[in-house]
Amino acid sequence: MSQKPFQATTFVPSARAFRTLYVYLPGFSNNHVAIYDILYHYWNASEGYAWPPHALLQKESGLSDPTVISCLKFLEKYGLIRVLTNPSGQNKTYDLFAPIEDEAFFWARFPEALENKRKRDAAIDARAARPNRAQRRARAAKESAMPVAAGMEDLSQYL
């Protein structure tokens, strides 16, 4: 039987949508993926939500308290989680929602992400169209190798 590397019951790969769509949301970072992944890991099927203590989110992500709070707000803002206060008043509980994977629906829901994608793609295309370092050096060497007669740098005066 063929398995992908690291395929096991304890390994859950990140949603591809984070790398292909959510990455274009303003302010998105891998910190958001880390917090979502931790919440996913602690999601309890019988209860229907996750309830890891806030300190555990900090410890497992390696992030500071303000960063964890910021990530939770971001994930909630973009519909990936819902933060609820536990009726017992202890840990907060987290409902998790699957990332949007349909591109058309994602772009329609988050037009600011589509604009960021267009800008980033244009910058990448512009950089890719530039001559590479070796091509620039070859052109500079060719231009500097052209002989110029003394006092004849500007021939326009003779035309």
What tens digit of pLDDT does each residue of 80-91 get?
999 998 767 677
pLDDT for res 90: 74
Residues 6+ apart with CB under 8 A from 69: none
Token pair 């190798």 is at which residue? 145
pTM: 0.73
Closest CA to 93 of 101, 102, 83: 83
Residue in 29, 33, 31, 28 with CA at minimum distance from that of residue 13:
33
Measured CA to CA, the distance from residue 42 to residue 45 in angstroms comes to 9
More confident residue, 49 or 140: 49
Which distant-in-sequence residues (6+ apart) come within 8 Å of 48 by Cβ?
95
Residue 40 confidence (pLDDT) above 70? yes
Taking only the tens place, the pLDDT of each residue in 61-118 is 999 999 999 999 999 999 999 999 876 767 789 999 999 999 999 999 999 999 999 9
Q: What is the pLDDT of residue 128?
A: 87
What pLDDT is stored for residue 4 in this prediction? Answer: 45
Alpha helices in 7-148 (DSSP H): 16-20, 30-41, 54-61, 65-77, 103-109, 111-129, 133-144
Q: What angle do CA 83, 15, 97 make, to 5 degrees?
A: 30
